[in-house]
């Protein structure tokens, strides 16, 4: 009897030891394969299934919802020695017919979770360990199970109750416009906004002078947030000063300098003091600044996540932790879009994602290449996005050929045609030539449908804006858009009469 018990006990121990050894071996092997195949960083919040099996953490900024404004087919904008991760993801997803999967709004990283706490387990390794994830060998012997396991595994990673990301369009849940800008856009009137670079000195004289000069010609001042990596006065202080001087502000907020709590608290504070137009963006890279750039590491939120957080706070009364708030703030949300940087269909996809996340108006980067801009409009049309968010196009009169070269090489997403460079280089009066270039672009833009406004981008030369508005006749211009009672087109505001328009885009542009 004793012998039999000892024998059984030895057998149980041996089996357990063998099980542990086998699991450890599988674990190590799977981890090594994951790292080799996917450059897996073992974050524990895997998006590989969604991102065509390319780890998004290999993006220089570790973006989880799509490319930055500088993404292009040649290289990463920050680190030019390597390709753009998100361009590769889009290209592979397109090959696999899985582009639409990339529309889902993914949560920011939960820093409490990572695989290293469980012995550096990657997703495959977790599958081995827990018997619930994808097993690499299934890819060869049972591909259907392999992909189903990935889907299940991925669903568990992203179905976070505090986030509730999805890939649907969410129309704004309010009826009355919250700002003069929104009111004007809804009524189908053309808007003119001017970008104002805040001063570095604590004086509001320049803003007051500009407000006096431009009153009656522009609708909003758009205050930048430490543009091009140079420290300046905070945008909120400028916005309050602008309100006091009679011009409604648009407050730009870069997520680079704010975590999720700072973002919410700043925007709620902005609402209290009457600033209701918010433009969300990821960041202007510090690479453009005069000093050594800050580390290009990840921000807490990207622009899509910021839009999602702010939309839910306003429309659902839920803060970033998933807690209810009693009094909902009111604001008009915008996003920056980069029509020309990457392929038009990819640029349209990230625009689609921003509209779904909550963008009610879109402000483009300065447009110099109208042909590429029209390609992007066509791609938006294919996605049925024209008119779903108000489109405000940025125009910047170049100062010289060197200025144009700087914009083309250093500002993410700005593309300059070589013919324009040559024109500026051979001009005897580059300043005047730049103004003429801008006037010609405005004339062409006025011919397009679904352009709701113009953003004049003349940092530190805001006086030029007055000349552009006067000479291009923008104040009397009626855009080719449909006045809307609600915010854009969407499920909650369907309108079958609206037919966009590709055919009407001038083909010569
Ligand atoms: S270009 Fe932007 S999106 Fe692409 S890898 Fe670099 S930082 Fe990431």
Instruction: Tell me the per-residue pLDDT of 474-498, one tens digit each, with 9 for 90 and over.
Output: 888 888 776 655 555 544 433 333 2
191-196 and 453-456 strand pairing: parallel
Q: Does ligand 1 lie within 6 Å of residue 71's CB atom?
A: yes
pTM for the whole thing? 0.85
453-456 and 332-337 strand pairing: unpaired
Q: Does ligand 1 lie within 6 Å of residue 254's CB atom?
A: no
Measured in Å, residue 89 CA sits from the centre of ligand 1 at 11
Extended beta strands in 19-88, E state: none
Q: Which atom of ligand 1 is nearest to the CA of 72?
A: 1
Euclidean distance between CA atoms 211 and 506, whole angstroms: 36
Measured in Å, residue 75 CA sits from the centre of ligand 1 at 8
Q: Does ligand 1 lie within 6 Å of residue 331's CB atom?
A: no
Do residues 428 and 421 lie in contact, with contact meaning Cβ atoms separated by under 8 Å?
A: no
Going residue by residue through the chain (509 aa), what tens digit of pLDDT does each one get?
A: 677 778 788 888 888 788 777 767 766 666 666 667 677 776 777 788 788 889 898 898 889 999 998 888 989 988 889 999 999 999 999 998 989 989 999 988 877 766 654 444 566 666 655 666 677 778 788 888 887 877 777 776 666 788 888 889 999 999 999 999 999 999 999 999 999 988 888 888 989 999 999 999 999 999 988 877 778 888 999 999 999 999 999 999 988 778 889 999 999 999 999 999 999 988 766 555 667 766 656 688 999 999 999 999 999 999 988 889 989 999 999 999 999 989 999 999 999 999 999 999 999 999 999 999 999 999 999 999 998 999 999 999 999 999 999 999 888 889 999 999 999 999 999 999 999 999 999 999 999 999 999 999 987 787 799 999 999 988 888 887 766 555 555 444 333 332 333 333 333 33
Q: Does ligand 1 lie within 6 Å of residue 61's CB atom?
A: yes
Query: Using alpha carbons only, how large is the chain's radius of gyration in Å?
Result: 26
Q: Does ligand 1 lie within 6 Å of residue 344's CB atom?
A: no
List the one residue out of 190, 166, 232 whose CA is nearest residue 452. 190
Q: Which atom of ligand 1 is nearest to the CA of 85?
A: 5
Euclidean distance between CA atoms 411 and 329, whole angstroms: 33
Q: Does ligand 1 lie within 6 Å of residue 85's CB atom?
A: yes
Euclidean distance between CA atoms 239 and 233, whole angstroms: 11
**Which helix (H) or strand (E) element contains residue 194?**
strand 191-196
Measured in Å, residue 146 CA sits from the centre of ligand 1 at 29
DSSP-assigned states of every residue in 223-260: E-SSGGG---S-HHHHHHHHHHTT-EEEEEEEGGG--H
Residue of 71, 286, 411 to test ligand 1 pocket, by largest number of atoms within 8 Å of CB: 71
Q: Does ligand 1 lie within 6 Å of residue 51's CB atom?
A: no
Q: Does ligand 1 lie within 6 Å of residue 70's CB atom?
A: yes
Residue of 51, 56, 76 to test ligand 1 pocket, by largest number of atoms within 8 Å of CB: 76
**Which helix (H) or strand (E) element contains residue 193?**
strand 191-196
- Non-local (6+) Cβ contacts of 266 within 8 A are 236, 253, 258
SS3 track for 62-74 = CCCCCCCCCCCCC
List the one residue out of 475, 185, 194 whose CA is nearest residue 333. 185
Query: How many other C-beta atoms are found inside a 10 Å radius of the C-beta of residue 348?
Result: 22
Domains of the chain: 23-158 (no CATH), 180-504 (3.20.20.220)
């Amino acid at each position: 009897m004793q012998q039999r018990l000892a024998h059984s006990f030895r057998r149980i121990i041996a089996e357990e030891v063998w099980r542990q050894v086998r699991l450890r071996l599988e674990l190590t092997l799977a981890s090594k394969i994951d790292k080799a195949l996917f450059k897996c960083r073992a974050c524990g919040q895997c998006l590989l299934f969604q991102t065509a099996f390319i780890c998004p953490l290999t993006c220089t900024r570790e973006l989880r919802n799509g490319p930055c404004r500088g993404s292009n087919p040649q290289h990463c904008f920050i680190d030019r020695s390597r390709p753009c991760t998100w361009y590769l993801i889009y290209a592979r997803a397109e090959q696999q017919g899985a582009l639409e999967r990339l529309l889902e709004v993914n949560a920011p990283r939960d820093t409490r979770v990572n695989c290293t706490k469980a012995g550096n387990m990657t997703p495959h390794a977790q599958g081995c360990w827990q018997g619930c994830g994808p097993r690499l060998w299934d890819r060869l012997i049972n591909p259907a199970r392999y992909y189903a396991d990935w889907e299940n595994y991925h669903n568990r990673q992203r179905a976070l109750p505090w986030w509730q990301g999805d890939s649907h369009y969410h129309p704004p849940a309010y009826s009355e416009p919250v700002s003069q800008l929104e009111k004007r856009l809804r009524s189908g009137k053309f808007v003119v906004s001017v970008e104002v670079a805040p001063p570095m000195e604590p004086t509001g004289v320049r803003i007051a002078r500009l407000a006096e000069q431009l009153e009656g010609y522009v609708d909003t001042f758009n205050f930048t947030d430490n543009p091009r990596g140079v420290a300046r006065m905070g945008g909120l202080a400028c916005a309050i000063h602008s309100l006091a001087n009679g011009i409604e502000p648009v407050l730009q907020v870069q997520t680079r300098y704010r975590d999720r709590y700072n973002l919410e608290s700043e925007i709620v504070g902005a609402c209290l003091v009457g600033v209701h137009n918010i433009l969300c963006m990821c960041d202007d890279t510090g690479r453009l600044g005069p000093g050594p750039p800050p580390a290009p590491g990840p921000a807490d939120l990207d622009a899509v996540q910021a839009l999602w957080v702010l939309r839910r706070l306003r429309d659902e009364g839920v803060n970033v932790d998933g807690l209810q708030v009693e009094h909902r703030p009111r604001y008009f949300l915008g996003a920056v879009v980069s029509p020309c940087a990457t392929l038009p269909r990819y640029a349209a996809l990230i625009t689609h994602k921003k509209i779904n996340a909550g963008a009610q108006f879109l402000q483009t980067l300065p447009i110099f290449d109208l042909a590429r801009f029209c390609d992007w409009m066509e791609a938006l049309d294919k996605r049925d996005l024209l008119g779903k968010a108000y489109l405000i196009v940025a125009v910047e009169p170049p100062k010289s050929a060197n200025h144009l070269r700087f914009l083309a090489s250093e500002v993410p997403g700005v593309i300059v045609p070589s013919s324009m460079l040559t024109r500026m280089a051979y001009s005897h009066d580059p300043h005047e030539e730049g103004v003429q270039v801008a006037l010609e672009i405005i004339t062409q833009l006025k011919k397009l449908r679904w352009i709701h406004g113009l953003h004049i981008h003349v940092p530190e030369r805001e006086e030029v804006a007055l000349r552009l508005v006067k000479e291009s006749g923008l104040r009397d211009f009626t855009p080719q858009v449909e006045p809307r009672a609600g915010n854009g087109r969407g499920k909650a505001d369907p309108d079958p009469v609206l037919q966009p328009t590709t055919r009407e885009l001038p083909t010569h542009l």
